[in-house]
Every structure is written in structure tokens, then in C-alpha cells.
Structure 1
Amino acid sequence: MVEHRMIDTNGVRLHIAEEGEGPLVVLLHGFPESWHSWHHQFGPLADAGFRAVAPDQRGYGRSDRPDAVDAYSILHLVGDVVGLIQALGEEKAYVVGHDWGAPVAWHTALLRPDMVRGVAGLSVPPPFRGTEPPLAAMDKRFGGRFYWNYFNRPGVADAEFAKDTRTALRKFFYSASGDAPGADAGKQPLVDPERGWLADMPDPEALPEWFTEDDLDTLTESFSKGFTGALNWYRNLDRNWELTAPWQGSVVTRPALYIYGDRDPVPAFPGTPELIERLPDLMPNLRREPLKLAGCGHWTQQERPAEVNAALIEFLTACS
């Protein structure tokens, strides 16, 4: 049975969902999501002897959403995870992240390996730092049309997505899933800044089986206060690049697992396919070849819960 409560940590109040007893597994969601994106994982992890805890990360759901844009840097986000582990009475945890949660998980393992038993990332591979600020790089490569750059415009995406939150989320989840017609992992997510991002996204007549109307209701409620806190994560991409300069060339040394879908656009971002191919050489403790899920889009643990759960439990058990 999933239980909910609030935790004070790192200067913010976080809502968490939790189930089970045993070694702690922290589950970190991405954009535009909430703790609920892990609802298929709670029962299986608890049954396997683990304590699963999924927060609404800062800026999301029932958790605090600081006003300052720079309060969403990667150091703040890692600090929230570290504080959460400690607030839960633990010294170490497994850290698992999807989408934006994956860079937070990877950086937690990179910056605080003493607190991480093992780390798993879904969709987004480890954060090997590039040679130039990411927002600037994408702006130059795609003429300002890459979605990161669109999100970086103050108030613009915030207003577009909040105009009809339920429709925006329905379009997001369907268009980035493996069920969307013509789903193409190689198509870059470019936005016409005048028309917005939602204009060209398909709006399904019926949702995929793995994403129900109840799921959409729960997600819509979690964005009742808007999208600004969540979008502020993207507005720190160049700041994060500056802040992580001391770790240039560093690699994650803790036991690691990487899972992605072959229809997910994120692993096809510029330079990422080459990075994924090199992961076994770059990561000294990668426990298996990157697991590619056939027909799976971006929402890895929701689209393919059985396969993700099996891989996670095998990995966590081997690290215990």
C-alpha cells in the first residue's frame, strides 16, 4: 500500500510516496511528471524486499516550488536527494531516475558516491560533461528552435502548457510514446517559437493502454499550480554546466544500469547515440550492456513496467 507524507529537507518541503521495507530505493521522476510515474514500480519493489520512495521533486506536485530560477540547479537537486536519504533515516540508498530524474540520479552518484549503493538511469544516459554550455550549443545548432531553448524563454512555455493543462499533458505523453503513429527516435524536438510546441503534437482520440484517464487526471492535478517550477530545471542547463566544471572528465564509479526505448527521442539527441555505444568502456561498473526496449518510447517505466521492473530488481538484488 503506497503511503504519502511530507519531508522537510535542504530548505524545502517535499511530498513523498513510499511503500515497502528494506534497502532504500529513491525513484526520481522527470518532466512533465510526478511521483505517480513510478506507480507500476512500488508493489514489485516492495515485494522484492526494498523500500521504494518517490518524491515530487522541487517545483512539482505537492512539493515546494521556490521562486528563484537559480534555486533549481543540479546542486540543489542533488542536495534534495542527499537530504531526503538522511531525513528517511538512511546513510545510503539506490537512486533511480527517469528523464530529468536520471541526470539527478547520475550526479548524485558522481558527487556523493559514499551515499549511493547503485544507480540506474532510464532514457537519459550518464552526464558526461560536454565542451560547451548546452543551451548555447543547441541554440547554435538548431537556430533557437530546440525545445530547451523554447523552454528557456521566461513565461512562454509556462503560459502555453497552463492554458489547457490536461490537453497539454495528453499530447506530451502520447506524442513521445512508442504508440504514436510514425514514432521516430531520430526526429529532433524542434519548436516554432511563434506557434508553440503543442501545435503540431497529435492529440489521440484514445489513450494507450499503459496511460489511463485516471493517470492523466492524477498528473493534471499535480500541475494545478502551473509549470514554471518544472521549466526552471531547463533554465539552469548552462548554469549546471558551469557548476560541474570541477568534475570535467569524471565518471560514475558506482554499480550502474541504463535502460532506454528504441523509439525514445532523447537517446537520439545530437551526440547521444555515440555516447551510449561507448558506455561499457566509459563506465567501469556498468553491470550489463545498455538495455534497449523494442517499441518503447520515452515513458520507459510506464510503457514497459514488467521489463523495467525485472531489470531493476535483478540489478538492485545483485548490488545488495
Structure 2
Amino acid sequence: MERPVGTLPLHLWGPDDGIPVLLLHGFPQTSRSWHAVVDRLLAARDDLLLAAPDQRGYAPDARPDDVAAYAIGELTDDVLAMADALGAGTFHLVGHDWGASLGWHLAAHHAERVRSLTALSIPHLAAYGWAIRHDPEQQRLGSYLRVFRTPGHGETALLQHDARRLREIYDGRVSAEDVEAYVELMRDGALTPALGWYRAMGGELARTPAVDVATTYVWGSQDQAVSRAASDRCGEFVRGAFRHVELGGASHWTPDERPDDVARAVLETIARGCPG
């Protein structure tokens, strides 16, 4: 089922009165990146209301031209509006890539709304910021940020030569069908708005406070964007119950590549955070 929240489509599974779980996708994907995880969550529990939006910049009717429209505060307001539309005073939060970054921000600044956080791939933003400044491996892995943040350069780099570099991002870990869907979406006008998330980010992200909610951080040992040093420091910025799950051999694309492990982590985090 799909429910519009403003200009954003919110895809829903499970009973209307279920425990609300919001799943936030990252770049360059959409809510379809959660389908395999959703299937496993629904098979495990029948009392969850799962909600996955196509976020600002990705949804065809939510692509503002102003880069400031993609600032973290605007993105946060989108998520809170979705929760309000569901009648969810509190909710469990699952995020991958940029969805994880947004999740960390929400857990830090709106802890009264977030019952638990499962963050995939991207560690606490203070840990990531430290690694960008001090870890040579993270500096190498994060070199793409300069390209993405430069207007025009990111678009050309990703879409030229039949979108070769965009396809390479998925590293053969995402299904060919999904890759083609994402490439088509980016060609059809989503790429510049999606890159707006990178272009709007400022130093406030690296200053994100520690979080107090029950949190699980899931990292693949072959993540192409996040170093081990960044991953290892994540727990230093969580004051609540914390678990670090390393998926040996997994890449950045854990929801696609390891949905069983991701679903298990989500279920365990929900149980620790607040089962009802």
C-alpha cells in the first residue's frame, strides 16, 4: 500500500495499528532497496507496521531546485511528518547510507520520538567525521565526496559512458534489475536532487551529539565507503544500549546483499528498544 505524505510516497506493509518501523533508503537507491528485508520482517512478526518512503530528491514530485531544501533539518522534518501521518508518536528507525546519517541525526536531536535505531553502513556522524579528518583509509574511500558535491561534475562523472560509474557504485552486489531501475531514475531527473543531499551538508553533521536510544550499527567488512577505523569508533558516540554487528565479506549494500542478517539485526534492536 502507498500513502502520500505531502509530495512523498510512503510505502506501507503490515497492520495499521502495528508497531511503527520507518526504513530510510540511501544514495542512489529508493524504497525498493528494502523489499528483501521487509519480506523477512513480515515473515518473522505480524505486529509491525513497516513504512519506507521514497525520499526528497528521489520522489518525482519532491525535487526542489534549491540546494538548501536538502539540508538535514528539512530531511528530518520529512521523516517526522511521515511518523505524524501514521499517528506514531514514537517509532523504530532503520536507515542505510544517507538514511543512516539521517537516522543518527534524528536519534540525537529527537530522542523522544525514536524508540530504537538500526544504522547500516554509516556510523555515528561524529565517528565518520573523525575518520575523514584522521584516517588515511577513510580519506581514500571518501574521495568521491568532492566529486558529488561539485555541481555538474558529479552528474557528468556518474552518467557519462552509459552511466558506467553509477553502475560501478553497486559493485555487482545489487540485482541487475534494481540497478537498471536506479539508473533510469537518475537519468530521468533524480540525480541532481539526490546529490543535493551531499551539497547541502555542513559541519554540523560531524558535531552530531551522542545518542541515548538503543542502537545497532551494522557494517560490512568490505564496505567501499566506510573504513574500519570509522566503524570501530561508532560505539563511542552511543550512550544507550549498543551493539556493533560486523558482516564478514559484505559490502556497502547490506540490505540487498545480506537481508537475512539485516532483518535479524532490526528485530533484535526493536526487541531491545521497546517491544510494544
Q: Confirm or deny that 1:158 pairs with 2:152.
A: no
In the other structure, the counterpart of 2:48 is: 50
Query: What is the DSSP-based 3-state SS (H/G/I as helix, E as strand, rest coil) of the residue aligned with 1:317?
Result: helix
| Residue type at the aligned position of 1:23 | I
- Distance, in Å, in 2 between the alignment partners of 1:265 and 1:53 is 27
In the other structure, the counterpart of 1:88 is: 86
CA contact (8 A) 1:169 1:216 kept: no
Question: What displacement does 1:83 show?
Answer: 1.1
Question: What displacement does 1:15 show?
Answer: 1.6
Matches within 5 A, 1:129-144: none
Given the superposition, is the C-alpha separation of residues 266 and 220 from structure 1 closer, same or farther in structure 2, using an over 3 Å criterion?
closer
- Distance, in Å, in 1 between the alignment partners of 2:159 and 2:96 is 23
Q: Deviations over 1:16-57 (max 9, x none)?
A: 221112111111111111111111122222331211111111
- Distance, in Å, in 1 between the alignment partners of 2:75 and 2:28 is 16
Question: What displacement does 1:71 show?
Answer: 1.0
- Distance, in Å, in 1 between the alignment partners of 2:61 and 2:223 is 28
Query: What is the DSSP-based 3-state SS (H/G/I as helix, E as strand, rest coil) of the residue aligned with 1:16?
Result: strand
Aligned with 2:177 (options 214, 220, 240): 214
Question: What displacement does 1:162 show?
Answer: 3.5
Can you give the 5+ residue segments of structure 1 that lack an aligned partner in the other structure?
Answer: 175-206
In the other structure, the counterpart of 1:20 is: 14
Question: Rg: which structure is higher?
Answer: 1
| Residue type at the aligned position of 1:104 | L
- Distance, in Å, in 1 between the alignment partners of 2:209 and 2:25 is 24
CA contact (8 A) 2:127 2:237 kept: no
Question: What displacement does 1:277 show?
Answer: 2.8
In the other structure, the counterpart of 1:74 is: 72
- Distance, in Å, in 2 between the alignment partners of 1:36 and 1:313 is 20
In the other structure, the counterpart of 2:167 is: 170
- Distance, in Å, in 2 between the alignment partners of 1:168 and 1:29 is 20
In the other structure, the counterpart of 1:100 is: 98
In the other structure, the counterpart of 2:194 is: 230
In the other structure, the counterpart of 1:294 is: 248
| Residue type at the aligned position of 2:13 | E
Q: Deviations over 1:106-135 (max 9, x none)?
A: 101111111101011100011227889x7x
Aligned with 2:219 (options 249, 257, 260): 260
In the other structure, the counterpart of 1:117 is: 115
TM-score after normalising by structure 2:
0.86
Matches within 5 A, 1:241-280: 241-242=203-204, 248=207, 250-268=209-227, 273-280=228-235
Can you give the 5+ residue segments of structure 2 that lack an aligned partner in the other structure?
Answer: none
| Residue type at the aligned position of 2:143 | F
CA contact (8 A) 1:27 1:97 kept: yes
Aligned with 2:240 (options 281, 285, 298): 285
Question: What displacement does 1:250 show?
Answer: 2.5
What is the aligned-residue identity percentage?
A: 31
- Distance, in Å, in 1 between the alignment partners of 2:219 and 2:129 is 25
- Distance, in Å, in 1 between the alignment partners of 2:40 and 2:139 is 42
Query: What is the DSSP-based 3-state SS (H/G/I as helix, E as strand, rest coil) of the residue aligned with 2:82?
Result: helix
Question: What displacement does 1:150 show?
Answer: 1.2
Given the superposition, is the C-alpha separation of residues 278 and 227 from structure 1 closer, same or farther in structure 2, using an over 3 Å criterion?
closer
Count of equivalent residues: 265
Q: Deviations over 1:66-110 (max 9, x none)?
A: 100111111111111111110122111111111111110010111
Q: Deviations over 1:279-302 (max 9, x none)?
A: 4444222332x1110110110111
In the other structure, the counterpart of 2:259 is: 305
Higher share in helix: 2
TM-score after normalising by structure 1:
0.75
CA contact (8 A) 1:45 1:51 kept: no
Query: What is the DSSP-based 3-state SS (H/G/I as helix, E as strand, rest coil) of the residue aligned with 1:297?
Result: coil
- Distance, in Å, in 2 between the alignment partners of 1:137 and 1:69 is 28
Query: What is the DSSP-based 3-state SS (H/G/I as helix, E as strand, rest coil) of the residue aligned with 2:125?
Result: coil
Query: What is the DSSP-based 3-state SS (H/G/I as helix, E as strand, rest coil) of the residue aligned with 1:301?
Result: helix
Given the superposition, is the C-alpha separation of residues 20 and 213 from structure 1 closer, same or farther in structure 2, using an over 3 Å criterion?
same
Given the superposition, is the C-alpha separation of residues 64 and 24 from structure 1 closer, same or farther in structure 2, using an over 3 Å criterion?
same
Aligned with 2:31 (options 32, 35, 39): 35
- Distance, in Å, in 1 between the alignment partners of 2:258 and 2:129 is 34
